[in-house]
């Protein structure tokens, strides 16, 4: 018993000691000007080539161009998210950003506790009351929303035009409304250019594990490729890495999501539907600097460069000029409101 107590005491001391350990260069002395920005990343952390790296890019740009000082926190476990936000809020940051829809509840809660701190939530999910009306976020919270369906519409049209098959595929991660937006836009895009095409839709699961199960992603993709699909668009986080692996193995194509995923399977990535997390984060920091920040819903679509698709030297060979011209036309039509893109299935 005594030994146990000593052990527990030693662990507690070690734990407290580690609290004071900072990676070198993390705690730089505050300069006189510029705003202080705190960002809590989603589980996955830096190097996820997606969401978190996007937020980081926006932050780095803001540091360079706006002189902002940014502190990034990478939570290890899900429970550290709230602690990270609270820490930054308690340090009186000018803006606290949570990256990922999973932060919604924590941000809502903390925004009520820290009324004079500005918060922003990437993919903040808005709830609706019993009558179906959207409940606005608290006055000091900016909900950063993306029109994923618009970007998905474009890659859907692309998949149908260059796929060379009447069947195109979609693989989602967890079967939830956020991912249905991708599916709905993609399906509409396919049907827009090819009304008699069919879209094969599969989801990896019904738990958050469905976003980090590349083994399942690969099996789903192999199954679709077997059925004659040549292009699969995935919106499934790390599960999608399995989709790229299947594309390599079968010599077919996949479409990335959130960030440019070309490097996952060079030669097999047709394009990626990119979300401008960096654009949104930079925009928020800029607003804080110019004192134009206010709570509310900010939507980033094709018009704001909040979503888009990759067309660069890597995939130019896969996309004929005529197809690219058609896509640009469709993009212009969406921005002009001539094409209505559905966001629910």
Partner 1 sequence: MIVLLFLAQTLRIAIPYLFAASGGVISERAGLIGLGLEGYMLGGAFCGAVASYYTGNAWLGLLGAVVGGVLLALLYAVTSIRFRGDQVVIGIAINLFASGATRFFLRLLFHSSANSPRIPGFGVEQTGTGWLAIARNPLIWIGILAVAFMAWLLYRTPFGLRVRAVGEHPAAAMSVGIRVARVRYLAVALSGALAALGGAYLAFDQHQFTAEMSAGRGFIALAATIFGRWDPVRAALACLLFAAAETLQIQLQGAQVIPSQFVEMIPYALTIVALAGVVGRAVPPAALGKVEGL
Nearest to partner 1 of 199, 255 (CB atom): 199
Q: How far apart are CA 204 and CA 213, in angstroms?
A: 8
Query: What separation in angstroms does the CA of 262 have from each of 139, 315, 323, 332?
Result: 39, 8, 19, 25
Nearest to partner 1 of 165, 223 (CB atom): 223
Query: Among 300, 298, 296, 299, which Cα is nearest to 138's?
Result: 296
Count of beta carbons in the 10 Å neighbourhood of residue 226: 10
Determine, following the binding rule CB under 8 A, whether residue 69 of this chain makes contact with partner 1: no
Determine, following the binding rule CB under 8 A, whether residue 77 of this chain makes contact with partner 1: yes
How many Cα atoms sit within 13 Å of 44 on the Cβ side? Answer: 22
Interface segment toward partner 1; rule CB under 8 A; list 42-50, 82-90, 139-147, 313-321: 42-50
Nearest to partner 1 of 207, 290 (CB atom): 207
Q: How far apart are CA 30 and CA 257, in angstroms?
A: 36
Q: How far apart are CA 231 and CA 218, in angstroms?
A: 14
Nearest to partner 1 of 69, 167 (CB atom): 167
Order of strands, edge to edge, in the sheet holding 307-309?
Answer: 198-205, 167-174, 231-235, 253-258, 269-275, 307-309
Determine, following the binding rule CB under 8 A, whether residue 119 of this chain makes contact with partner 1: no
Residues from 217 through 236 that contact partner 1 (CB under 8 A): 218-220, 222-223, 225-226
Determine, following the binding rule CB under 8 A, whether residue 173 of this chain makes contact with partner 1: no
Nearest to partner 1 of 251, 342 (CB atom): 251
Nearest to partner 1 of 266, 342 (CB atom): 266
Interface segment toward partner 1; rule CB under 8 A; list 39-47, 57-65, 92-100, 278-286: 39-47
Determine, following the binding rule CB under 8 A, whether residue 48 of this chain makes contact with partner 1: yes
Q: Is 127 helix (H, G, I), strand (E, B) or coil?
A: coil
Contacts of 191 (CB under 8 A, 6+ apart): 197, 199
Which residue in 140, 152, 202, 261 binds partner 1 (CB under 8 A)? 202
Determine, following the binding rule CB under 8 A, whether residue 258 of this chain makes contact with partner 1: no
Determine, following the binding rule CB under 8 A, whether residue 182 of this chain makes contact with partner 1: no
Q: Which residues of 17-41 are buried (b: 16+ CB within 10 A; e: fewer)?
A: eeeeeeeeeeeeeeeeebbbbbbbb
Determine, following the binding rule CB under 8 A, whether residue 206 of this chain makes contact with partner 1: yes
Determine, following the binding rule CB under 8 A, whether residue 49 of this chain makes contact with partner 1: yes
267: alpha, beta or left, given left = phi > 0 and alpha = psi -120 to 50?
left
Nearest to partner 1 of 76, 139 (CB atom): 76
Burial of 311 (0-12, 13-18, 19+ CB in 10 A): middle
Nearest to partner 1 of 157, 210 (CB atom): 210
Nearest to partner 1 of 46, 134 (CB atom): 46
Count of beta carbons in the 10 Å neighbourhood of residue 14: 10
- CB of 238 vs partner 1, minimal distance in Å: 5
Determine, following the binding rule CB under 8 A, whether residue 248 of this chain makes contact with partner 1: yes
Determine, following the binding rule CB under 8 A, whether residue 165 of this chain makes contact with partner 1: no
- CB of 226 vs partner 1, minimal distance in Å: 5
Which residue in 177, 251, 296, 320 binds partner 1 (CB under 8 A)? 251
- 258 near 274, Cβ under 8 Å? yes
Binding site for partner 1 (CB under 8 A): 44-50, 74, 76-77, 175, 200-203, 205-207, 209, 212-216, 218-220, 222-223, 225-226, 238, 241-242, 245, 248-251
């Amino acid at each position: 018993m005594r030994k146990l107590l000593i052990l527990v005491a030693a662990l507690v001391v070690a734990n407290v000691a580690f609290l004071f350990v900072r990676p070198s260069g993390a705690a730089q002395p505050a300069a006189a000007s510029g705003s202080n920005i705190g960002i809590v990343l989603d589980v996955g952390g830096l190097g996820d080539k997606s969401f978190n790296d996007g937020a980081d890019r926006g932050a780095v740009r803001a540091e360079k161009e706006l002189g902002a000082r940014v502190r990034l926190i990478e939570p290890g476990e899900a429970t550290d998210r709230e602690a990270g936000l609270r820490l930054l809020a308690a340090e009186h940051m000018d803006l606290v950003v949570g990256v990922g829809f999973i932060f919604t509840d924590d941000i809502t809660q903390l925004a009520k506790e820290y009324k004079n701190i500005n918060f922003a939530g990437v993919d903040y999910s808005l709830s609706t009351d019993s009558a179906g009306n959207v409940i606005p976020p608290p006055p000091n919270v900016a909900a950063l929303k993306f029109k994923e369906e618009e970007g998905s519409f474009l890659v859907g049209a692309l998949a149908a035009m260059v796929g060379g098959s009447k069947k195109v595929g979609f693989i989602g991660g967890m079967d939830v409304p956020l991912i249905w937006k991708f599916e709905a836009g993609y399906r509409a895009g396919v049907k827009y250019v090819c009304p008699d095409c069919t879209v094969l839709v599969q989801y990896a699961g019904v738990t958050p594990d469905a976003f980090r199960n590349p083994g399942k992603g690969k099996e789903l993709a192999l199954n679709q490729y077997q059925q004659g699909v040549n292009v699969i668009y995935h919106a499934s986080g790390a599960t999608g890495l399995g989709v790229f692996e299947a594309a390599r193995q079968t010599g077919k194509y996949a479409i990335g999501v959130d960030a440019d995923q070309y490097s996952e399977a060079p030669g097999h990535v047709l394009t990626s539907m990119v979300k401008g997390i960096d654009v949104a984060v930079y925009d928020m920091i800029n607003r804080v600097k110019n004192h134009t920040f206010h709570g509310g819903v900010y939507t980033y679509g094709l018009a704001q460069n909040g979503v888009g698709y990759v067309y660069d030297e890597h995939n130019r060979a896969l996309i004929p000029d005529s197809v690219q011209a058609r896509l640009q036309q469709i993009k212009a039509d969406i921005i002009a409101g001539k094409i209505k893109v559905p966001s629910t299935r």
